[in-house]
């Protein structure tokens, strides 16, 4: 894991996140977003991400509380768990590392600490240039995760979603199991939503015949928090104003990449002095 000195910022966030928004948003607005769990085109969003040492969590909360945008808690915190799916040769991972302009990844997500019979949703997360959106569909049956046969897990997942979703699961297999505690915040006008993820734990499923989250197979890495700011393109200036006043730099912070290839995962800055 590489560490970046506090205050060492890359190119301006304006350049990183405004680039091609005007041209991209038009094409996305014309996409066929059907009713099978697809979000409305108005939910297309820009994301800014910040990673830091988990020991700096209290300083992060203090820095957010004094922001002029009136950041406050939106929902109670909850435990988030996901099993990410990828091809045998890691296509989603490679596209992420290469920065491919249009890329997709699929995951089964549920909430809470259970892992045997869980109720969850299948999510398709799409990234196109600087914009992103999700399509979500509920799985119509409880899913066994811990102890599930890896191929049987995907078959059960496919059987629990509409036919239109099944083709997207073809050739995929479980690759990462990721769990963390998430806090939900928002600015007073709800223009920017923020989440703070910490107590991050990951388990590599690629070498396993059956899915598991046992301590012996847990990936070991630095303890970090990940702050995400999510907003419509029109509200990007508000999100940028918030991160400019934080002592941590904006960067690429994919938990999926951290679990799959730690050397290219989130780059937390050192705790500011």
d(CA 64, CA 230): 15
Output the pLDDT for position 273: 47
218 occurs within a structural domain: yes
Q: Please state which of the ranges 5-19, 35-49, 200-214, 238-252 shows the lowest mean pLDDT.
A: 5-19
Note whether 217 and 177 are within 8 A (CB): no
206 occurs within a structural domain: yes
208 occurs within a structural domain: yes
Output the pLDDT for position 21: 37
Tell me the per-residue pLDDT of 49-81, one tens digit each, with 9 for 90 and over.
999 999 999 999 999 999 999 999 999 999 999
Note whether 131 and 43 are within 8 A (CB): no
Mean pLDDT of the 219-233 span: 92
d(CA 236, CA 148): 42
Output the pLDDT for position 266: 63
| Distances from the Cα of 24 to the Cα of 106, 191, 206, 240, angstroms | 22, 21, 34, 20
233 occurs within a structural domain: yes
Output the pLDDT for position 129: 84
Mean pLDDT of the 263-273 span: 61
Output the pLDDT for position 182: 99
Mean pLDDT of the 23-47 span: 49
28 occurs within a structural domain: no
Query: How many distinct structural domains can be found in the chain?
Result: 1
CATH number of domain containing 142: 2.40.320.10
d(CA 60, CA 272): 10
Domain span holding position 113: 37-264
Q: Which residue has better confidence, 31 or 259?
A: 259
Confidence tier at 112 by pLDDT (50, 70, 90): very high
Output the pLDDT for position 272: 55
> What integer best gives the mean pLDDT of the chain?
85
24 occurs within a structural domain: no
Output the pLDDT for position 267: 60
Q: Which residue has better confidence, 253 or 77?
A: 77
Share of the chain above pLDDT 70, in %: 81
Output the pLDDT for position 43: 77
d(CA 81, CA 197): 12
Confidence tier at 11 by pLDDT (50, 70, 90): very low
Residue 244 has pLDDT above 60, yes or no: yes
126 occurs within a structural domain: yes
């Amino acid at each position: 894991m590489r560490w970046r000195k506090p205050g060492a910022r890359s190119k301006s966030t304006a350049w990183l996140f405004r680039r091609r928004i005007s041209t991209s948003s038009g094409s996305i607005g014309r996409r066929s977003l059907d009713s099978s769990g697809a979000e409305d085109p108005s939910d297309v969003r820009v994301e800014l991400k910040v990673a830091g040492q988990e020991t700096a969590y209290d300083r992060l909360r203090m820095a957010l509380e004094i922001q002029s945008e009136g950041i406050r808690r939106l929902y109670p915190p909850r435990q988030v768990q996901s099993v990410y799916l990828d091809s045998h040769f890691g296509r989603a991972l490679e596209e992420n590392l290469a920065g491919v302009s249009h890329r997709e990844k699929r995951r089964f997500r549920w909430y809470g600490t259970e892992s045997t019979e869980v109720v969850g949703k299948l999510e398709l997360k799409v990234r196109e240039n600087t914009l992103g959106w999700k399509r979500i569909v509920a799985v119509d049956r409880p899913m066994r995760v811990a102890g599930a046969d890896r191929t049987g897990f995907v078959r059960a997942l496919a059987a629990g979603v509409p036919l239109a979703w099944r083709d997207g699961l073809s050739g995929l297999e479980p690759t990462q199991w990721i769990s963390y505690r998430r806090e939900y915040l928002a600015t007073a006008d709800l223009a920017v939503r923020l989440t703070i993820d910490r107590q991050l734990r990951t388990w590599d499923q690629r070498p396993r015949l059956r899915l598991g989250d046992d301590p012996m197979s847990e990936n070991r890495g630095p303890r970090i928090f990940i702050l995400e700011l999510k907003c419509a393109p029109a509200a990007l200036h508000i999100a940028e104003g918030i991160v400019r006043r934080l002592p941590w730099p904006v960067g690429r912070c994919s938990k999926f990449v951290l679990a799959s290839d730690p050397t290219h995962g989130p780059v937390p800055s050192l705790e500011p002095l």
